[in-house]
Amino acid sequence: MQEFYPLKIDRVFKTILLENEDFKFLNKVLTDILEKEVEIVTLEYVELPVVNTKVKVQILDVLVKIKSGEYLNVEVNINFNNVIKERNLIYYMTEYTQRYKRGGEVSEKVIQINLNFNKGSQKNLKEKICLYNLTNKEIYYEEFSIINVNLVKYKEKWYDKVIEGEDKHIYLVTLATEKERELKELEKRCKDKVVKEVCRKVFELNDDGSRRRLISVEKEQEMLIKKELLLANKEGIKEGKLKQTIEIARKMLKDGVPIKDIIKYTSLNKEEIARIEI
């Protein structure tokens, strides 16, 4: 049985949500999150160059300008750990700084929206982050803001009927649906034309052999990156332990401990001990 590729996969998201000029579904998703009517005017780019494999694993980057003049940096995060949070913040500040340099002042608000598929990444369905003055207990600068959206929790609450109304947050629920069976059920159950159209496109893409091959290549690359990260982490731990062992050996040398005892307790050999400066 072949693997089903849902909307959270980078290339699926790009192909289905960004291929049409009107970006209907993306409009609906952003309108739901911001709780105000959104109309996308321009989509500036859909890919951020990868300069470090440690900070990008299956993440989609989209920068859109909406009719109100605000810029929205949209991220789809499959993993949402501290590394990803740091990477998103660095990118956000870089984009904000670039706008200041180009225009002399920041005339447009830039909001970063993180669509997260990690259930344990946050307690609430949605959270807004901005600079906060701890002394005055007030927002220091509201133009600087990040919105984290936990799509998994939206889907769970919708299916558990905690969220009232068949169409309430239906676009976020559609985006969060990963299994083919659930998406088919959603397509039948939902009356919204935009949702039905997106579901149909997801099924078409999964039935298209050439496009499936492109996605499978991406997933293989993702697995390689994850392996690189794991190896890098292991090497980092090993290097850290070696430094700690050398430091212990250095102290033992200073205290006049015999070489044979240092070898016994640190597992370093004579050559390695001889290179230690005291």
Q: pLDDT tens digit string along 172-228? A: 999 999 899 999 999 988 889 999 999 999 998 888 887 777 666 555 555 545 555
Is it the case that residue 80 has pLDDT exceeding 60?
A: yes
Q: What percent of the chain has pLDDT over 70?
A: 71
| Degrees, nearest 5: CA angle 197-4-2 | 135
Q: What is the mean pLDDT of residues 233-252?
A: 72
Residue 129, judged by CB atoms within 10 A of its CB (0-12, 13-18, 19+), counts as middle
Which tokens go with 236? 């980092």
Is it the case that residue 49 has pLDDT exceeding 70?
A: no
Start-to-end CA span in the chain (Å):
63
Highest mean pLDDT among 40-54, 71-85, 187-201: 187-201
Q: What is the mean pLDDT of residues 110-122?
A: 79
Q: What is the mean pLDDT of residues 7-24?
A: 75
Give the domain ranges of the chain: 10-207, 236-274
Q: What is the mean pLDDT of residues 15-38?
A: 82
Return contacts of 194-199, CB within 8 angstroms, 24+ apart. 194/24, 194/25, 194/28, 195/25, 195/170, 195/171, 197/24, 197/25, 198/7, 198/16, 198/17, 198/25, 198/174, 199/174
* Closest by CA position to 176, among listed 34, 9, 24, 61: 9
This prediction has a pTM of: 0.67
Q: Between helices 209-254 and 193-207, what is the axis angle to 10°?
A: 80
Phi first, then psi, for residue 5 (nearest 5°) are -100, 110
| Degrees, nearest 5: CA angle 86-129-77 | 45
Strands 71-77 and 59-66: antiparallel
DSSP state letters, 59-117: EEEEEEEETTS-EEEEEEESS-SHHHHHHHHHHHHHHHHHHHHHHSS--S-EEEEEEE-
Q: What is the mean pLDDT of residues 98-103?
A: 60
Q: What is the mean pLDDT of residues 51-71?
A: 57
| Average pLDDT over all residues of the chain | 76
